[in-house]
Structure 1
Amino acid sequence: MTTTTTDRVGPAASALPLTGRVAVVTGASSGIGAATARLLAARGARVALLARRADRLAGHVAAIEAAGGTAFAVPADVTEPDAVTAAADRVRERYGRVDLLVNNAGLALPDLLGQGGANWRRMIEVNVNGAFAVTEAFVPDLVAAAAERDHADLVTISSAAATSVLPGFGGYAASKAAVSHLLRNLRAELSPKDVRVTTIEPGTVDTELRDHLGDPELTAAVQGFVDSLGQLPTGTDVAELIAFAVTRPRHVNLPLLTLLPTREA
């Protein structure tokens, strides 16, 4: 019989509060996703790491296993629905039903108006369509898991940009606004089924996203802003917030969490 968190008592339960849970983390090849996969595994979950870069995933899985955790890599592109469906099947074959999904895959690109809208389309594909495809693939697992053990968790990484004005990054802000509002509606749909829905809206975080802007002038401007903030939260800081949210008592849901650098208004 599978041991759940609430069945355990004593120091081991406190140290490994996610024992018995099966987690999927998208965008797990770097940044917030990689840090989240490591932390969830360290807290006892069996974790499937999903992203495009298979070599990165393999390295993270090796590190998790070396630390005593359980993980495996699922290379897949969230913008390809068939690949997402196949990935979901692989996870079920390996670990069984998923009860914790962390939707993290995302892109932050400048608008670059006048260039045919390529960046806009790419962000909609990854940030919005990708998040929806992954959610759709795993929601049946979450609902079934919640019926069996009284709760499951859907966590999605949006952005503080969802409620901000970001000149030069309006497309990114719009994509994240769509994600945040989608999750508000999904919570209304899923909470009666005991699936807890949590949206996390980080501000500026020390990840590699800003290294892929593709515009030297804009990259310099963004770096100047980042430098003005002093020390930034890391992917691990966001991962700690995720772990906190999904280890609350079953009757407690944290629907919206924002994490900012201390100096960011």
Structure 2
Amino acid sequence: MNAIANKVVVITGASSGLGEATARLLAGRGAKLVLGARRLDRLEKLAADIIAAGGEAIAVATDVARRADVENLIKAGQDRFGRVDVLVNNAGIMPMAAMSKLKVDEWDRMIDVNIKGVLYGIAAALPGMRANGSGHIINLSSVAGLRVSAGVGTVYSATKFAVKAISEGLRAEVGPEGIRVTTLYPGAVASELVNGSSDADAAAGMKAFYEANEIPSDSVARAVAYAIEQPADLSVNEITLRPTRQEF
């Protein structure tokens, strides 16, 4: 039995990388997709591809740093499909640099996207899930949310540690109501995250690290599918996945 078929899944950051790969995999297994990201043209192409292959998907322009955008994304899913079963809080940015570079604007943006964006998603989706007595929230952290990426990624790590704390607290709170919470901690997975650093030294280091280690973005998609397809009485709380050769 396909436990993913007909589930309504909202994915943020769906225009590329992990989000796009997850959308394509879940659509192939019969999920109904609600796709959110800032680049509407890419979202619409993805939705068109899914529909052409016999699936169901809608595209909604979404900046997760704007609460109203995230609320509109969830509402679009509810209006089109009647409910939201799964929220994948995937959108994130990774502008790496030493703290001594004082890239405060980038710190602010990471907090807005990586932390507040996750909270906005939870706030928008949770009331409907509680009313239905079921639901699944999947948050993307990072291996940098398990071990501080000191030197160039301290603030990024701080945002991903926050996602871990938010997820664990939410799990303990809403699990008794039948709502599942999963946190993923990916290592070097192919995505546009690696292109987010304005600091030349950090950008070069990250590019070299990813070129030496990265695995395809559908690695994360398969982990998301695994968590979703479990029986309702089983919540997969945490999945850490990294390239076999990656030490960090």
Q: What is the TM-score normalised by the length of structure 2?
A: 0.94
CA contact (8 A) 1:19 1:44 kept: yes
Write out aligned runs for 1:133-172 (5 A).
Answer: 133-145=120-132, 147=133, 151-166=134-149, 167-172=151-156
The reply to whether residue 90 of structure 1 matches residue 73 of structure 2 is no
SS in 1 for 2:118: helix
Q: Tell me the residue number matched to 2:188.
A: 204
| Identical-pair percentage | 39
**Within 1, Cα distance between the matches of 2:215 and 2:101?**
34
**Within 2, Cα distance between the matches of 1:196 and 1:19?**
18
**Within 1, Cα distance between the matches of 2:24 and 2:200?**
33
* Structure with greater Cα Rg: 1
Q: Tell me the residue number matched to 1:236.
A: 218
The reply to whether residue 68 of structure 1 matches residue 54 of structure 2 is yes
Tell me the number of residue pairs that the alignment of Structure 1 and Structure 2 aligns: 245
**Within 1, Cα distance between the matches of 2:79 and 2:208?**
47
Q: Tell me the residue number matched to 2:104.
A: 117
**Within 2, Cα distance between the matches of 1:204 and 1:91?**
31
Alignment partner of 2:44 out of 28, 39, 58:
58
CA contact (8 A) 1:111 1:117 kept: no
AA of the residue aligned to 1:96:
G
**Within 1, Cα distance between the matches of 2:96 and 2:143?**
16
Q: Tell me the residue number matched to 1:195.
A: 179
Q: Tell me the residue number matched to 2:8.
A: 22
SS in 1 for 2:83: coil
AA of the residue aligned to 1:221:
G
Gaps of 5+ in 2: none
AA of the residue aligned to 2:224:
I
Structure with more contact order per residue of length (Cα contacts < 8 Å, sep ≥ 6): 2
**Within 1, Cα distance between the matches of 2:63 and 2:178?**
29
RMSD: 1.4
Deviations 1:122-159 (A, max 9, x none): 000000001100111001122223x2xxx421111110
**Within 2, Cα distance between the matches of 1:51 and 1:168?**
26
**Within 2, Cα distance between the matches of 1:248 and 1:115?**
44
Alignment partner of 1:216 out of 188, 196, 200:
200
Alignment partner of 2:209 out of 212, 216, 225:
225
Q: Tell me the residue number matched to 1:80.
A: 66
Q: What is the TM-score normalised by the length of structure 1?
A: 0.88
Q: Tell me the residue number matched to 1:10.
A: none
AA of the residue aligned to 1:123:
M
**Within 2, Cα distance between the matches of 1:215 and 1:111?**
6
Deviates more, 1:136-145 or 1:30-39: 136-145
After the TM superposition, list the runs of 4 or more consecutive aligned residues in structure 1 that deviate by more than 6 angstroms: none
Alignment partner of 1:102 out of 55, 69, 88:
88
| Alpha-carbon shift at residue 216 of structure 1 (Å) | 2.5
Gaps of 5+ in 1: 1-12
| Alpha-carbon shift at residue 116 of structure 1 (Å) | 5.0
